[in-house]
Amino acid sequence: MKLEINTFKSIIKEEKFYIDLYYGEPQRAKDLDLLYGLNSFDAFEQLKSLLIILYNLRCNLFHGEKGYHPNQIEILQPAINSLVIINSRLMNKLNSDY
């Protein structure tokens, strides 16, 4: 998942996409807070920022005012990969506990 986290770091740093939007307006300070969390040495902070990013992307995708554009694959692919990894790890943990 390191690759996905690094991809999100680059996207936020280079302002390729805005993660946090308020009625369609970019919230750069909140994006920078997420970048700070992704750069943290604390795994919990990294995961927290990643989950917030995934949630915001979900909200933007389902509740946003515009449709899908092919250039969005740059942000959607690492999101999909992250979800696959997280789900796999959760299922492994659940299966090992029972």
CA-based nearest residue to 57, from 29, 90, 85, 31: 31
23-32 per-position pLDDT tens digit? 889 999 999 9
Residue 40 token pair: 């943290």
| Beta carbons of 79 and 54 less than 8 angstroms apart | yes
Q: What are the tens digits of pLDDT across the range 30-63?
A: 999 999 999 999 999 999 999 999 999 998 888 8
Provide the residue ranges of all domains of the chain, joining segments of one domain with +: 2-97
Give the other-Cβ count within 10 Å of 33's Cβ: 16
Q: What is the pLDDT of residues 87-96, one digit of tens each?
A: 999 999 999 9
CA separation for the pair 98, 25 (Å, rounded): 45
